[in-house]
Amino acid sequence: MLGGVQIPHHKGAVGHSDADVLLHAICDALLGAAGLEDIGTHFPDTDPAYKGIDSKLLLEKTFLLIKEKAYHIINIDSTVCLQLPKIKRFIPQMKSCIASVLQMEKDAIGIKATTTEQMGFVGREEGVMAYATVLLEKTI
């Protein structure tokens, strides 16, 4: 799973939830921008309630936390770092999924992909990384 979309590949991510690193990075960016603690504090991997959970639900719960603090999401920028698979063709679906969960325009969501030119654990296809930044506006 990446950005809420099932990406076909011969390898998959392993994690306590569905291991969607892009949605997790967006959750952390939202929580951090709102001055809240990180995703692991709100949805700990020690809690069986989150075992195998769909990361879209974590993003939805994060969105509710942001709204409780009277924040509105202006935009999201993200980068996924992986060697394979190539994900460019899935980016429109990811943007639509994220926009739907966060009740925002998909044009305000940036998703980019890059490789490490076969260096490190990402280059050896042993893992994937994702980074996200968000801009929030206080609505009160």
Please tell me which residue, 139 or 119, carries the higher pLDDT value: 139
Q: What is the per-residue pLDDT for 122?
A: 61
For residue range 109-135, what is the model confidence (pLDDT) as tens digits? 999 988 876 776 666 667 788 999 999
The pTM is what? 0.91
133, amino acid identity: T
Quick one: average pLDDT of 91-117? Answer: 94
Domains of the chain: 21-138 (3.30.1330.50)
**Which positions ≥6 away from 76 have C-beta within 8 Å?**
26, 29, 98, 102, 108, 109, 110, 132, 133, 134
Residue 44 has pLDDT above 80, yes or no: yes
Q: What is the per-residue pLDDT for 81?
A: 87
Q: What is the per-residue pLDDT for 91?
A: 96
